[in-house]
Structure 1
């Protein structure tokens, strides 16, 4: 599919008429080849008030549909990419390249393509790490940052759990219903979701197979960095300390990736940082709950 020429789609929620979105893509580069970074864009494409929403390790940009719709209604242009190896984006030939340096390069290319002098950033898990690294660089275009359930310190036990989930994932499903049952299990820490929300997450987490059935939307190679012997505690405090923009940190109440003591230290080390704990969630709040959406929208737009 040529995403640049893809038609505008209409999204609906019950009988409510909602904002339109557009598919787009941009070409980035890795060590070995160029690859496509696909995205969904909401709001006025000429608007310079831009918010970039970046998903977690094994997710994709359509996770942000409800949040993007709410932000677009406030007059923002919202861009929700699929990281390389996920969703509609391209795949990398060498799984070693599925790492933070490549993601940072790709998102820098996307920011240049967007063309706004400054952007707000909403990042869930891996998307939050990428945002923190970019915001911690000199002359960063990120002027406001929401980090959803991730921090500068990553405990190895939680990273090993994520890696095991990728490696042990069921790859093929014969029906949508069986896929949804799978996602309801592995994504249970997202919190209490409605049936419609679970179906939305499921439908956008799958690719149809030519012979029938469905497969997961991501390259199994994204788990390469988490293979046994490669998982260890990660510290990125140097980027956090170098940031100059205001930050909102969201923490799932029972998260094993953003520990309570790490969230506390994030607030203590950087003036202008706020932290809100989201009850009933682990890693990571789905940002589909109306109260969670309201929290993010009000903080970004105040």
Structure 2
């Protein structure tokens, strides 16, 4: 693995692009152009987890841009640089899917590879079903058609709480307390690096970079009487779209059994287990970046 205290990789530039959702909210994406244009590769669309943002893909973007890919990373409504919604019910997969489609129209990537972390992987699968032939390949980062209820319950307990931190060290310490079982090998520099992905600076100090109202839909989803998440019908519609499934060895969201079934059911799927990481793999280390780049090279 790369040392976590290595300088944070930077792609050539990271301009922010904005577009309007159907209901008027302003949405945002970070875009990184390819480092060279003489051998253009397929664009890559990155979609983050439930409460995460486009900064999660900085290291991946730097690596892929150096190899000739244009990289786009969207912020869903209520996250990152996108507007917050006054109605938490709009923080739904259905509304976010509409926002993603509006972003695709604005950013015009053409045919692309989709990389989705957790919730973003669900969106990647849905994209391939809505736009057959446009998605050249999918990377699912620690997500599948079934999600472990214990892991969802863990996230539901913490999301939207303890939003503020006094300084960057306090932010790093807070993340370490809550996520150490998922990332047992991460050192102090790594937790500080992760804090810069989770938090943003405001006039009132540091805050987690999402609307705490996101928690409402998740809390409803983990109630005892809530139906279990079953995305196998969506997964089975992917056909032979090339698929790379990443699983953190300590994940409490994507189980080994679900991963095995995903590989059994999909004719063009491959997998990589990332040691010392849980939900969701950080996409920082050289081995994971190289595996994603190799997969992207094989998507046409």
Whether the TM-score (by the shorter chain) exceeds 0.5 is yes
Query: How far 1:200 sits from its partner (Å)?
Result: 3.1
| Greater relative contact order (CA < 8 Å, ≥ 6 in sequence) | 2
Q: Report the TM-score when normalising by structure 1.
A: 0.87
Query: How far 1:59 sits from its partner (Å)?
Result: 1.2
Q: Is residue 2:276 matched to residue 1:280? A: yes
Structure 2 unpaired stretches of 5+: 1-5
Q: Is residue 2:103 matched to residue 1:107? A: no
SS at match of 2:19: strand
* Residue in structure 2 matched with residue 147 of structure 1 by the alignment: 140
2:11–2:63: 8 Å Cα contact kept in structure 1? no
**Cα distance in 2 between the residues matched to 1:109 and 1:191:** 39
Please give the root-mean-square deviation of Cα atoms over the aligned residues, in Å.
2.3
1:137–1:242: 8 Å Cα contact kept in structure 2? no
Alignment match of 2:25 (pick from 20, 25, 35): 35
Query: How far 1:44 sits from its partner (Å)?
Result: 4.0
Structure 1 unpaired stretches of 5+: 1-12
Alignment match of 1:261 (pick from 246, 257, 262): 257
Q: CA 1:18–1:154 in structure 2 vs 1: closer, same or farther (change >3 Å)?
A: closer
* Residue in structure 2 matched with residue 209 of structure 1 by the alignment: 202
* Matching of residues 231-242 of structure 1 within 5 Å: 231-242=226-237
**Cα distance in 2 between the residues matched to 1:17 and 1:59:** 19
* Residue in structure 2 matched with residue 247 of structure 1 by the alignment: 243
Q: CA 1:242–1:199 in structure 2 vs 1: closer, same or farther (change >3 Å)?
A: same
Answer 1 or 2: which has greater strand percent. 1
Q: Is residue 2:106 matched to residue 1:116? A: no
Structure 1's consecutive aligned runs of 4 or more residues displaced over 6 angstroms after TM superposition are 45-48
**Cα distance in 1 between the residues matched to 2:167 and 2:63:** 31
SS at match of 1:153: coil
Q: CA 1:83–1:21 in structure 2 vs 1: closer, same or farther (change >3 Å)?
A: same
Q: CA 1:182–1:16 in structure 2 vs 1: closer, same or farther (change >3 Å)?
A: closer
Greater alpha carbon shift after TM alignment, 286-295 vs 189-198: 189-198
2:88–2:213: 8 Å Cα contact kept in structure 1? yes
* Residue in structure 2 matched with residue 200 of structure 1 by the alignment: 193
2:9–2:59: 8 Å Cα contact kept in structure 1? no
1:144–1:247: 8 Å Cα contact kept in structure 2? yes
Query: How far 1:94 sits from its partner (Å)?
Result: 1.2
